[in-house]
Amino acid sequence: MNLTELDAAIEQANRIFSSRHTRRPDKSQEPERPAAPPEQRGWPLVSLDAERRFGQPHAKLFPFIGRKVRTPAGPGTLLLVFADRVTVVLDSELSGCAVFALKEIVPCDWSV
User: What CATH number did the domain enclosing 58 receive?
Assistant: 2.30.30
Report pLDDT for 88. 94
Q: Judge whether 75 lies within some domain.
A: yes
Q: Tell me if 13 is assigned to some domain.
A: no
- Domain containing 53 equals 44-112
pLDDT at 19: 53
Residue 31 lies in a domain: no
Please check whether residue 65 lies inside any domain of the structure. Answer: yes
Distance CA 52, CA 46 (A): 10
In a domain, 37, yes or no: no
Give pLDDT tens digits for 37-68.
544 557 788 888 999 999 998 999 999 999 99
88 domain residue, yes or no: yes
Closest Cα to residue 46, out of 25, 61, 36? Answer: 61
Q: Which residues of 64-92 are buried (b: 16+ CB within 10 A; e: fewer)?
A: beeeebebeeeebbbeebeeeebebebee
Q: How far apart are CA 89 and CA 18, in angstroms?
A: 40
Average pLDDT value over all residues in the chain: 79
**Distance between CA atoms of residues 4 and 11, nearest Å:** 11
Q: Is residue 61 in some structural domain?
A: yes
Higher per-residue confidence, 99 vs 7: 99
**The total number of structural domains that make up the chain:** 1
Residue 38: per-residue pLDDT: 43
